[in-house]
Amino acid sequence: MTAILDVYGLKKHFAARQGGLGLAPTKVRAVDDVTLSIAPGETLAIVGESGCGKSTLGRLILCLERPSAGEVWLDGWRIDAMPSPQLRPLRAQIQAVFQDPMSSLNPRMRVRDIIAEPLINFRLASGRQQIDARVGELLELVGLPREAMARFPREFSGGQRQRIGIARALAPSPRLLVCDEAVSALDVSIKAQIVNLLCDLQRDLGLALLFISHDIAIVEHISDRVAVMYLGVVVEIADRDALFARPAHPYTRALLASVPAGSPSERGRAIRLGGEPPNPADMPPGCRFHTRCPHTFDRCRTEAPVLRERGPGQMAACHLDL
């Protein structure tokens, strides 16, 4: 099957400090050579801790940032360097849902106008009646009543606002939805509603999802495949079942082991990883994980491991066969 999204050797480097005054310029390699693809209708989750580059990767894929190197292909079109007039119609194919709906919904716009905006921008509907009908349809699709149209974002709870954000993202009938921490700010009982909604929408609309999250339990729940990022690189990418049954990279194992107990009887079972991720502006040489890895040996300190096959549908970047 041809992929809906292909990413090759994607890099994004930010200047953390300009040179001068005798100081060497420093660079943050937020995303450093990431290659991955998403099939139509598939959910690929990107999981990692703060500063691992997962959100920057999402922004590069959404063409909200220009990559320093590498390519982004959407449905056979190379979009990373495309001038905006050509990119415009393709943008309908790839839409985003962010963490905090309150900061991504204009508080002065009525829900109808928020959802109508992409319809008008992409010339997918015109005329009051046609627009109202489509907005009503989208609201029902995300489990809100049509009457919500006439109201303002502040009149809704956090979960309902996230539904509005999803309705707006679905308005141009995208084929890929990028969800960046889309359920992270929600209460447990609301989170479950939105996760179920995303799963239903994906099944019913055949959407592909790029689900960016720090929450590995949600990731296990929602994904078909998982990419684990650490300090700008993918350290493991695998089918969900393989990754959770036989995590091949020591960092993946540490992430899984750090999740709090499911019940008090499993208390204290978490295997704790020492230290914290190093400063991304001051990356360790060799394997980026070697400063925290329980299995570090000489080679890890000098040579960066590359992704290699570790099982069917499973790649990990580690010198060892753990």
Binding site for other proteins (CB under 8 A): 49-50, 157-160, 187-193, 195-196, 199, 214-218, 220-221, 241, 244-245, 254-268, 270, 272-274, 276-277
CB of 75 to other proteins, least distance (A): 26
By C-beta, is 83 or 262 nearer to other proteins? 262
By C-beta, is 85 or 312 nearer to other proteins? 312
Torsion, Cα of 158, 162, 164, 167 (10° steps): -160
Determine the Cα–Cα distance for residues 322 and 318; give it in Å rounded to an integer.
Answer: 9
Determine the Cα–Cα distance for residues 261 and 259; give it in Å rounded to an integer.
Answer: 7
Q: 71: helix, coil or strand?
A: strand
Other beta carbons within 10 angstroms of residue 215's beta carbon come to 17
CB of 242 to other proteins, least distance (A): 9
CB of 251 to other proteins, least distance (A): 9
CB of 76 to other proteins, least distance (A): 30
By C-beta, is 68 or 296 nearer to other proteins? 296
Other beta carbons within 10 angstroms of residue 263's beta carbon come to 6
CB of 20 to other proteins, least distance (A): 22
Cβ-contact 60, 80 below 8 angstroms = yes
By C-beta, is 85 or 264 nearer to other proteins? 264
By C-beta, is 134 or 221 nearer to other proteins? 221
Question: What distance, in Å, lies between the first and last C-alpha atoms of the chain?
Answer: 31
Cβ-contact 233, 200 below 8 angstroms = no
Determine the Cα–Cα distance for residues 262 and 197; give it in Å rounded to an integer.
Answer: 24
By C-beta, is 91 or 292 nearer to other proteins? 292
Determine the Cα–Cα distance for residues 34 and 71; give it in Å rounded to an integer.
Answer: 10
By C-beta, is 173 or 291 nearer to other proteins? 291
CB of 166 to other proteins, least distance (A): 16
User: In sequence order, what are the residues at sequence separation of 6 or more whose Cβ sits closer than 8 angstroms to the Cβ of residue 8?
Assistant: 35, 70, 71, 73
Closest-CA residue to 196 (of 230, 151, 163, 225): 163
CB of 272 to other proteins, least distance (A): 5
